[in-house]
A and B are shown apart, each in its own frame.
Chain A
Amino acid sequence: MLKKRGTRGDKGSKLEFGLFTLPVILCITIAFYIPFLMTIRYSLTKWNGISKHPKFVGLDNFKQILLGDANFAHAAWFTVKYAILYIVLVNVLAILLALVLDMKLKSSAWLRAAFFIPYILSLVIVGFIWKFIFMQGFESLGHSTGWGIFQLSWLGEEGLAFVSILAVSIWQSIGFYMVIYIAGLQSVPEDLKEAAIVDGAGPIRRFFSIILPMLAPSITISVFMALTNSIKVFDVILSLTGGGPGGTTYSIAYDIYRDTFQNNLYGYGTAKALILFVAVLIITIIQLSIFKRREVEA
Chain B
Amino acid sequence: MQRSRTGRILLEAGMIVLSLLFLYPLFLAINNSFKSFAEVMTDVIALPKQLSLDNYVYVWKFIDYPRLFLNNTIITVVGLAGIVLISSIAAYKLARTKSKWSSVIYMLCIMPMLIPFQSIMLTVLRLAKDLNLADSTWGLGLLYWGFGAPLAVFIYHGFVKGIPVEIDESAKIDGASGFRLFFSVIFPLLKSVTATIVIIDVMWIWNDFLLPLLMVNGSPSTKTLTLAAYTFVGQYTSDWQYAMTAMVMAVLPSIIVFIFLQKYIVKGVVAGAVKG
Q: Which residues on A sit within 8 Å (CB–CB) of B118?
A: 232, 234, 252-253, 256-257, 273, 276
Interface string of B97-127 (1 = CB under 8 A from A): 1000110010011001011111111111011
**Contact between chains at A136 and B93 (CB < 8 Å):** no
Contacts of A105 in B (CB 8 A): 8, 11-12, 15
Chain B residues lying within 8 Å of A179, measured Cβ to Cβ, are: 266, 269-270
- Check: B28 CB closer than 8 A to any chain A CB: yes
Let me know if A298 is at the binding interface, CB within 8 A.
no
Chain B residue contacts of A136, Cβ below 8 A? 32, 40-41, 44, 240
Taking the nearest CB of chain B, how far is it from the CB of A102, in angstroms?
12
Task: Kindly provide the distance from the CB of B103 to the nearest chain A CB, expressed in whole angstroms.
Answer: 12
Given the interface pairs A17-B97, A132-B29, the reply to whether A125 lies near B250 with Cβ below 8 Å is yes
- Kindly state whether residue B147 has any CB partner on chain A within 8 Å: yes
Encode contact with A along B78-111: 1 for CB under 8 Å, 0 otherwise: 0000100111011011100100011001001100
Q: Residue on B with the closest CB to A183?
A: B270
A21 near B255 (CB under 8 angstroms)?
A: no
Interface residues of A in 141-178 (CB under 8 A from B): 141, 144, 171, 176
Shortest Cβ distance from residue B48 to the other chain A in the assembled complex, whole angstroms: 14
* A124/B229 contact (C-beta < 8 A), A31-B147, A141-B45, A260-B122 known: yes
Instruction: State whether B230 touches A107 (Cβ < 8 A).
Output: no
User: Known contacts being A17-B97, A125-B250, A141-B45, is A180 close to B270, with CB within 8 Å?
Assistant: yes
List the A residue with the shortest CB-CB distance to B142.
Answer: A27
Within the complex, which residue of A23, A35, A113, A140 is in contact with B123, where a contact is CB–CB below 8 Å?
A35
Q: Is the interface of A mostly helix, strand, loop or mixed?
A: helix
Inter-chain contacts of A28 with B (CB < 8 A): 108-109, 112, 146, 149-150
Please tell me if the beta carbons of A27 and B23 are within 8 angstroms of each other in the complex. no
B233 close to A128 (CB less than 8 A): yes
Chain B: interface size category: 35 or more
| Residues on B with beta carbons closer than 8 Å to the beta carbon of A27 | 82, 86, 145-146, 149
With a CB–CB cut-off of 8 A, which chain B residues contact A291?
A: none
- Is there a chain B Cβ closer than 8 Å to A34's Cβ? yes
Is the CB of B53 closer than 8 A to any CB of chain A? no
How many contacting A-B pairs (Cβ < 8 A)? 244
A266 neighbours in B (Cβ, 8 Å): 122
A20 within 8 A of B: yes
Kindly state whether residue A210 has any CB partner on chain B within 8 Å: no
- Chain A: interface residue count, which band? 35 or more
A24 and B269 CA atoms in complex are apart in Å by 23
Do residues A111 and B15 form an inter-chain contact, with CB atoms below 8 A?
A: yes
A276 to B124, CA, bound (A): 16
Chain B residues with a Cβ under 8 A of chain A: 8, 11-12, 15-16, 19-20, 22-23, 25-26, 28-29, 32, 40-41, 43-46, 82, 85-87, 89-90, 92-94, 97, 101-102, 105, 108-109, 112, 114-124, 126-127, 131, 143, 145-147, 149-150, 153, 178, 182, 203, 207-210, 226, 229-230, 233, 240, 243-244, 247, 250-251, 254-255, 258-259, 262, 265-266, 269-270, 273-274
Q: Jot down 15 A-B pairs with beta carbons below 8 A, ordered by A.
A: A21-B94, A31-B147, A32-B150, A36-B119, A36-B123, A121-B251, A121-B255, A122-B207, A122-B250, A124-B229, A125-B247, A128-B230, A129-B25, A179-B269, A231-B116
Known: A28-B112, A115-B19. 16 other contacts (CB 8 A): A17-B93, A20-B93, A24-B149, A25-B108, A27-B82, A28-B150, A38-B127, A114-B19, A129-B25, A137-B45, A141-B44, A144-B45, A239-B233, A257-B121, A276-B119, A280-B116
